[in-house]
Structure 1
Amino acid sequence: MPSREEILNAKILVVDDSADNVELMLEILREAGYTDVSSTMLPEQVCPLHRQQCYDLILLDLQMPGLNGFQVMKGLKEIEQGGYLPVLALTAQPSFKIAALEAGARDFISKPFDLLEVHKRIHNMLEVRLLYKELAQYSRQQQELALHDPLTGLPNRRLLEDRIATVLQHATRQQNKAAVMYLDLDGFKAINDTHGHATGDEILKMVAQRLVGCARREDTVARVGGDEFVIVMGNIAQLGDTQEPAAKLIEAVSEPYVINGLTLRLSTSIGIGIYPDDADQVASVIAVADGALYEAKRSGKNRCCTAQMMRTPPQPHTMSPTPA
């Protein structure tokens, strides 16, 4: 539950076209210990202010010239988009109470104000609002954890596949190509076995940082398990556009790693699949890149192999004719 301090520090906006009512409510809130309170007598300012400030509570008079409280709530609903609408309606009309709740207000305060009622309704509503925000934040954190690798913070396979699908759709619309680069670390198992998993984890985090540093801002760098990473490149014209980036990745990974006084080295092998040349579906592009990676490992490691290279048959060796 939110603490008393969190409740007293919540952001509150008072909206009323009467200067006397505004001043009275501000005085009530200040005496109760609320520290972040503002006001406006212009209902058209409420939505722009809420977009900027994201208030925890809006004390909203329902009867105002120009925009009334019901119209203001309609605008606030568009901002919250299905979230918790933090409106506490202020009204002297008994018939407006149910209408206010139906319009989205979470509660109401009757005019003239009953001090005990005002304090209780404000406190209760702020408690619910702040709890709702805590739960929403927790939900976002859980979603982030579900989509990212906990060690490196990179997107995991689940998020990667979604990113690849988006890149392929964009490539189709723009009539260009996209690349999936599948990386595996050469020599990582030996480091893990010799120096322990803690050192191995540090290596993985450092590799992740280097890969992100080499990639373009629009590229996705993901860890898909163990010592395997995938980089998705969109907006390329041809296979050759991947060669320089791949060379930079190989060079970056090959730089020494200094961990707890130890200087360690490893390298990386890379397989590349091109959309739509090699495959036209998310899973198949990944599979093509994985196959090219296997060929890079098989042919000596610390190198890049493309699906096109695997399809190109070796050229026969021809002897020059012997002079007579």
Structure 2
Amino acid sequence: MPSPDEILNAKILVVDDCADNIDLMIEILRDAGYMNVSSTMLPEQVCELHRQHCYDLILLDLQMPELNGFQVMKGLKEIEQDGYLPVLALTAQPSFKIAALEAGARDFISKPFDLLEVHKRIHNMLEVRLLYKELAQYSKKQQELALHDPLTGLPNRRLLEDRIATTLQHAARHNRKAAVMYLDLDGFKPINDTHGHATGDEILKQVAQRLVNSSRKEDTVARVGGDEFVIVLAEVANVASAQEPASKLIEVVSEPYKVGELTLNLSTSIGIALFPDHAQDVNQLIHMADLALYDAKRSGKNRHCVAQLPLAPDALDGATPAVGVGAAQQVTV
């Protein structure tokens, strides 16, 4: 539940075309201990003010010239996409009370003001509003945890696949290529076994940061396993434009790591697959990059390999299939 201090520090906006009404409401609020109160006599400003300040409570007069409270609430609904409208309607018309609730207001206060009613309704509504925000933040945090690796903060496989799908759709729409790089750390297991999991975790965090720092903002860096990472290159012209960043990553990962008093070294092997050359869907593209990674490992590590192009069906007649990606292009850095 929100604390008393959180309630008294909530952001409140008073909207009324009458200066005396605004002064009275501000006095009531400040006497009750509310510290973050602002006001406007111009209803057309309310939506923009709410966009800027995200008020926890809007005390809104319903009867105003030119733009009335109902019209203001219509605009606020477009901002509050989650459906929670933090509006407490102010009205002297009994018939407006139900109409205000139907329009989206959470509650109403009758004019002339009854001091006890004002205090109670404002406190109750702020308590609910702040609790609602806490729950929304908790839900967002849980969603983040479900989509990100807890150790490195990078996207996990679930989010990675979604990012690849989006990238492939964009590439197909604009007749462009995209690439997936599958990375595996060489020499990580001995470090983990010798120096312990805490040291291994620190190495993984440092690797993740290096990968992010060496990638473009539009690319996605994800952790998909113990010491396995995948990078999605959102737009590449050809194989060479994927090999260049791969070579750079091999150099970056190979630089020494400082963990406490230790200086440790490892390297990385990378498999590269291009859309639409090597595969045309998410899982197959990851699979082709993984096969190319296997070739890089088998060929001596600390290098990158590009997946082979799939053979045409008629080329397979009478031919002996290669193991893995067999003819993948290998480059040692």
- Shorter-chain TM range is over 0.9
Per-residue CA deviations over 1:41-73 (Å, capped at 9, x if unaligned) read 111111111011110000000100011111111
**Aligned residue number for residue 285 of structure 2:** 285
> What does residue range 225-304 of structure 1 map to in structure 2 within 5 Å?
225-304=225-304
**Counterpart residue identity of residue 50, structure 2:** H
**Aligned residue number for residue 119 of structure 1:** 119
**Aligned residue number for residue 57 of structure 2:** 57
Q: How far 1:173 moved relative to its partner? A: 1.4
Q: How far 1:287 moved relative to its partner? A: 0.2
Q: How far 1:110 moved relative to its partner? A: 0.3
**Aligned residue number for residue 223 of structure 1:** 223
Say whether the 8 Å CA contact 2:306–2:328 is kept in structure 1.
no
2: CA distance, partners of 1:262 / 1:25: 64
**Aligned residue number for residue 173 of structure 1:** 173
2: CA distance, partners of 1:193 / 1:124: 57
**Aligned residue number for residue 21 of structure 1:** 21
Q: CA RMSD in A?
A: 1.2
Q: How far 1:312 moved relative to its partner? A: 4.1
1: CA distance, partners of 2:40 / 2:188: 62
Q: How far 1:165 moved relative to its partner? A: 0.5
**Aligned residue number for residue 205 of structure 2:** 205
Say whether the 8 Å CA contact 2:180–2:286 is kept in structure 1.
yes
**Counterpart residue identity of residue 125, structure 1:** M
2: CA distance, partners of 1:121 / 1:290: 60
**Counterpart residue identity of residue 144, structure 1:** E
1: CA distance, partners of 2:299 / 2:326: 15
Per-residue CA deviations over 1:55-106 (Å, capped at 9, x if unaligned) read 0000000100011111111110110013310000000011111111011000
Q: How far 1:242 moved relative to its partner? A: 1.1
**Aligned residue number for residue 163 of structure 1:** 163
2: CA distance, partners of 1:240 / 1:231: 16
1: CA distance, partners of 2:95 / 2:213: 62
1: CA distance, partners of 2:328 / 2:50: 65
**Aligned residue number for residue 39 of structure 1:** 39
2: CA distance, partners of 1:84 / 1:269: 50
Q: Please state whether the residue corresponding to 2:180 is helix, strand or coil.
A: strand
Unmatched 5+ stretches in structure 2:
310-324
1: CA distance, partners of 2:25 / 2:328: 83
The answer to whether the aligner puts 1:98 opposite 2:101 as a matched pair is no
Say whether the 8 Å CA contact 2:181–2:270 is kept in structure 1.
yes
Q: How far 1:308 moved relative to its partner? A: 2.8
Per-residue CA deviations over 1:166-191 (Å, capped at 9, x if unaligned) read 11111111211000000000110100
**Aligned residue number for residue 2 of structure 2:** 2
Say whether the 8 Å CA contact 2:91–2:97 is kept in structure 1.
yes
**Aligned residue number for residue 84 of structure 2:** 84
**Aligned residue number for residue 148 of structure 1:** 148
**Counterpart residue identity of residue 26, structure 1:** I
2: CA distance, partners of 1:44 / 1:13: 14
1: CA distance, partners of 2:36 / 2:212: 41
Q: Please state whether the residue corresponding to 2:277 is helix, strand or coil.
A: coil
**Aligned residue number for residue 190 of structure 1:** 190
1: CA distance, partners of 2:243 / 2:99: 65
Q: Please state whether the residue corresponding to 1:13 is helix, strand or coil.
A: strand
**Aligned residue number for residue 316 of structure 2:** none
Q: Please state whether the residue corresponding to 2:185 is helix, strand or coil.
A: strand
**Counterpart residue identity of residue 29, structure 2:** L
2: CA distance, partners of 1:102 / 1:185: 59
**Aligned residue number for residue 317 of structure 1:** none
1: CA distance, partners of 2:205 / 2:83: 37
**Aligned residue number for residue 305 of structure 1:** 305
**Counterpart residue identity of residue 77, structure 1:** K
2: CA distance, partners of 1:313 / 1:275: 16
**Aligned residue number for residue 318 of structure 2:** none
Matched length: 314
**Counterpart residue identity of residue 32, structure 1:** A
2: CA distance, partners of 1:6 / 1:230: 42
Q: How far 1:8 moved relative to its partner? A: 0.4
